[in-house]
Structure 1
């Protein structure tokens, strides 16, 4: 190779990071002492605020790292408009510690960045720290000492930081060792469009709400405040479309949710005290399209028209309440009945089990109850869904409690075989049911009887998907697949897939 002056000129623009001046690049054929072309670093010449917008598309930690590029970029990250603080993968578990000294570094990082932040327009602010499974109203596997130690006033300062900077999306997921109070200022920010709160803090109901632009609100607390908190909150959000409420409720107070703008509603409640202390639930959400309702505390339902409802997920443990609720959902297209709900329906007397006809239902998902002989209920549900196209048994066909009761198992097997030989075929099996999926298949004889029934009776079945329990071996999977492939099937287009569960 010749001298440097004879090398071809590369077409990229370079910046001398030490001298902060553009490097002169030569045209092909120019001498080292000839007239070069001064090329400008156009990105670095952009205003700080615009560069901050660009860096906002990076993770916050990566945006801060750009400060080492040059003197020009040393403070650019302080103009970012999206802040996301996440302590992952920090674990403070006292039994299985991983990076136990990292949380003080995380705290120092958040403090320093908030102090240096120059942006007056923080559109998105996310603050995530503390393990997800340490909520005080859920099953606790770790000790209280696993939670990070943070002064309540310090946490409130972090959460309130973006409220005066035009924040549109605020996402707080935090659990601390000594819970304080959730700042009521969070409910007085008129610019908020998305508010997600998942904390182990306590909330005192604010005197007033100011959330005119809020479209999505997810609230997870140890205790949902008493009184008319939900009613006042929803009435203060005329643009609210998505609402999630999760926590303990006082069973003596009614739950009233009334909003014409709601499209998605999720209510997950638990109650204090004895089971007979139960409350009234009033839902006036005529335009809701998705309803997730997990409740053990309702004594009475007052639900308006749900003609716009497309999908519902229900987990109710009281038989009469479950039936009353299902009659309000008769127009639904996708229905998920979880374990408690299936068990409640099974406990109904045969003369009381009067299900509505789901004429729009095309997807049905069922949990498995704490017993085996629930096949009659399955038949009732199939008879009430004449246009069903997909059936999913989310937790298998039988429940395995680990007990080896041969007499009980034999009796259940006989009941299943009797059910599977019934000549009654629901209309959906004859004309519409195209896909059946079974999860947590346990390789029992009565499970095989149920599968035989579906293969023998489903005239238009296109796919049978069977997922074994995750600890089943590959040999067992192959053996089951060979067995199922040999079974006679009514539909010539039916394919059988056997796989190991996740």
Structure 2
């Protein structure tokens, strides 16, 4: 047999991991993938190859951040480069319908107002559904196209430096708007407020942060509203929202918005925060009235100093929370424990109670020595259906153990006592606390104590 001397051709074996499978995808799919990146990052892919040169123009989401742009290019002085960048991308963009448009103007630059309004107009013309604006203009009237958009589902306006003075034009119609978040926005007149909310018949979530309502008193009707958040605002608002399910409210002595809910409003989740060390006067009474009025709530959250307002209540002022299932408390002190006892004894549906800042907070109650009181003598016994008790920032002090003993003696249905230890607890302290916890008597035969 004579063998051929010709060298046989060996098939080339390719490493499948090195194949560029992404480039073989359809243009529209690549554009969708690039939509999850900031526009500046998506633009950089145009340098990969000729194939990728204009794929960034097919994104369905546009996100511009001047701080990110200047940091990337190492620009420290104010110039027009960012304006040219945004205008250039919008000129090349080929998608007629976009999902999201985000514009963040964080630098104290004097951007031309005409450019800013033009960019927003382009986004609205492309049928944007989610519009996020972070602006540094102190006074600006939003273009009519925003407040007449048929497609806009979510609107977010944030002021970076100053409070934005907002004046709503005569015509406002946002039939698809579901979520609205306003931060550091001032409504210049009562008519602007009224026109804005009348033009949002499907609004389901409203978030007001550091906002100011120029009108002394105004009423709004939001029949579709389900979630309302009011943090550190000023003014007075009376609201009719029969479908309101969640209310979050936070105020201080300097930032107060008195919020009056119509009788038709009965939120199932109520979160009340009060950041003040003054527990007397009209403000504290107003916040206290919010707590008392939450009789139909299933979840009640009292943060910061709100629990201490309970010491102003007389026994005949304490309502019955017949539907309450979950109670969260911050900054409990000796005087507020009387009312904690009331909730435990008179909330028949209560199953979970959470102490977010410990069982006894020294910052609001004084020193440990002042609170070595005998809970069995000063707190009335109770019988409740509470099944879970959570204690955060647990230090294992003597007074805390007394309170745990009181809870374990009375909570006959308790299944879990969960203690989240304070971060500075040493291993030796943890072992000592664990021994003392094991010695505590338990009325419930099914209760477990967990130290985490």
Give the TM bin, normalised by the shorter chain. Answer: 0.7 to 0.9
- Asked whether the equivalents of residues 440 and 468 of structure 1 are also in contact (C-alpha less than 8 Å), the reply is yes
2:273 maps to 1:311: no
Change (3 A) 1:148 1:422: same
Tell me by how many angstroms 1:211 deviates. 0.9
The 5-angstrom pairing of residues 150-161 of structure 1 reads 150-151=110-111, 153=113, 155-161=116-122
1:355 aligns to 2:308 (yes or no): no
Is the Cα–Cα contact under 8 Å of residues 457 and 490 in structure 1 kept in the other structure? Answer: yes
- Measure the CA separation in 2 of the matches of 1:183 and 1:202: 10
For the Cα contact (< 8 Å) 2:232–2:257, is it kept in 1? no
Q: CA deviation at 1:455?
A: 1.8
Q: More displaced, 241-250 or 390-399? A: 241-250
Counterpart position of 2:3: none
Deviation digits for residues 225-282 of structure 1 (CA, Å, limit 9, x no counterpart):
44244333221111111111222435861242312111111123433xxxxxxx6542
Give me the whole-angstrom Cα distance separating, in 2, the residues matched to 1:196 and 1:305: 28
Q: Which shifted more, 67-76 or 438-447?
A: 438-447
**Alpha-carbon distance in 1 for matches of 2:8, 2:270:** 71
DSSP-derived class of the 2:389 partner: strand
Judge conservation of contact 1:44–1:72 (CA < 8 Å) in 2.
Answer: no
Instruction: Give CA deviations for 1:98-157 in whole Å, capped at 9, x if unaligned.
Output: x88499887775455334323222211123464xxxxxxxxxxxxxxxx64453625555
Q: Matches of residues 327-342 of structure 1 in structure 2 within 5 Å?
A: 327-342=292-307
Instruction: Please tell me whether the aligned partners of residues 185 and 212 of structure 2 are also in contact (alpha carbons under 8 angstroms).
Output: no
Residue among 333, 336, 344 paired with 1:382: 344
* Shift in alpha-carbon separation, 1:158–1:469, aligned structure 2, 3 A: farther
- Partner SS for 1:335: strand
**Structure-to-structure mapping, 1:81-480, within 5 angstroms:** 81-86=60-65, 101=76, 110=86, 112-128=88-104, 130=106, 148-151=108-111, 153=113, 155-174=116-135, 176=136, 179-181=138-140, 183-185=142-144, 186-199=146-159, 200=162, 201-250=164-213, 253-271=216-234, 280-295=236-251, 297=256, 301-307=260-266, 309-315=267-273, 318-348=283-313, 350-351=314-315, 354-368=317-331, 372-401=334-363, 409-414=368-373, 417=374, 419-421=375-377, 424-428=380-384, 432-480=385-433
Distance in structure 1 (CA, Å) of the matches to 2:243 and 2:325: 20
Contact 2:225 2:244 in 1 (8 A): yes
Give TM-score, length-normalised by structure 2: 0.80
Match of 1:27 in 2: none
Alpha-carbon spacing, 1:478–1:255, altered in 2? closer, same or farther (3 Å): farther
| Structure 1 portions without partners, runs of 5+ | 18-40, 93-98, 131-146, 272-278
> Equivalents in 2 of 1:4, 1:293: separation in Å?
80
Q: Is the 8 A contact 1:283 1:304 kept in 2?
A: no
**Post-superposition shift, 1:411?**
3.5
Q: Does structure 1 conserve the Cα–Cα contact (< 8 Å) formed by 2:40 and 2:69?
A: no
* Cα deviation, residue 52, structure 1: 2.4
Paired with 1:490 and 1:102, the residues of 2 have a C-alpha distance of: 70
Equivalent residues of 1:326, 1:356 under 8 A apart:
no
Measured at CA, do residues 226 and 117 of structure 1 come closer, stay the same or move farther in structure 2, by a change above 3 Å?
Answer: same
Gaps of 5+ in 2: 1-5
Superposition map of 1:32-111 within 5 A: 44=24, 46=26, 48-49=27-28, 51-86=30-65, 101=76, 110=86
Residue 401 of structure 1 aligns to a residue in which SS? Answer: helix
Are the structure 2 counterparts of residues 398 and 422 from structure 1 closer, same or farther at C-alpha, using a change threshold of 3 Å? closer
8 Å CA contact 2:241–2:265 kept in 1: the answer is: yes
Q: TM-score, normalised by structure 1?
A: 0.73
Q: Give the CA deviation at 1:9.
A: 5.7
